[in-house]
Amino acid sequence: MKRAYLGLGSNLGPRQHYLAQAIARLGGPSLAVTAQSSIYETAPVGYTDQGWFLNMAVEIETTLLPLQLLRLVARIERTLGRQRTFPNGPRTLDIDILLYDRHSVRTRHLVIPHPRMTERRFVLESLAEIAPNLVHPAAGKSIQTLLTAVSSQAIRRWTPPETHWAPVPLSTPESVLI
């Protein structure tokens, strides 16, 4: 059984729905979600002329090997109707494998640790919430320490919009209820 960390993001359509659906689909015989961060609303990094993202991180325990895990997350992205507009542009759902145990993987389709995770506050902030003392195997620093170097990127904790309750007409006359 290996412990791994995933970063989830969405900035197109019903963003929270995509994150929730992704987490629901991550369970199974070969994989369990063991921790999940809050959701953060984050300014786009890279191509900046696009909407803010919802981002979060999850910890998983899995018997899948890295490339099997990549296939699984790609399948979840496809099942949820992944739309990508153009490179670094808006997307309905993105699932990045950030860390896989202390392993280093370098193939054409997969690089672990994720090569840009140490520069991205939207990754480090959510990861620090669930694994602050985890040491990045290549940087040799904890996630909490790495986070202090990227604090200028805009980010805020996201809370779901308030539900507005409308009075529901009673089918039973109120006098009967007393």
Q: Whose Cβ is closer to ligand GSY: residue 88's or residue 107's? A: 88
Cα torsion 59, 4, 29, 106: sign: positive
For residues 39 and 114, is the Cβ–Cβ distance under 8 A?
A: no
Query: Contact between 125 and ligand GSY (CB under 6 A)?
Result: no
Query: Contact between 59 and ligand GSY (CB under 6 A)?
Result: no
Question: Alpha-carbon distance 95 to 8, whole Å?
Answer: 5
Binds ligand GSY by CB under 6 A, chosen from 15, 44, 76, 131: 44
Active site includes 96?
yes
For residues 91 and 51, is the Cβ–Cβ distance under 8 A?
A: no
Active site includes 82?
yes
Binds ligand GSY by CB under 6 A, chosen from 59, 96, 125, 129: 96
Query: Contact between 46 and ligand GSY (CB under 6 A)?
Result: yes
C-alpha closest to that of 18 among 99, 62, 84: 84
H/E stretch holding 105: strand 105-106
For residues 37 and 58, is the Cβ–Cβ distance under 8 A?
A: yes
Binding mask 75-94 for ligand GSY (x = CB under 6 A): -------------x-----x
Among 25, 71, 82, 84, the active-site one is 82
Binding site for ligand GSY (CB under 6 A): 9, 42-46, 53, 55, 88, 94, 96, 122
Residues recognised as catalytic: 82, 91, 94, 96
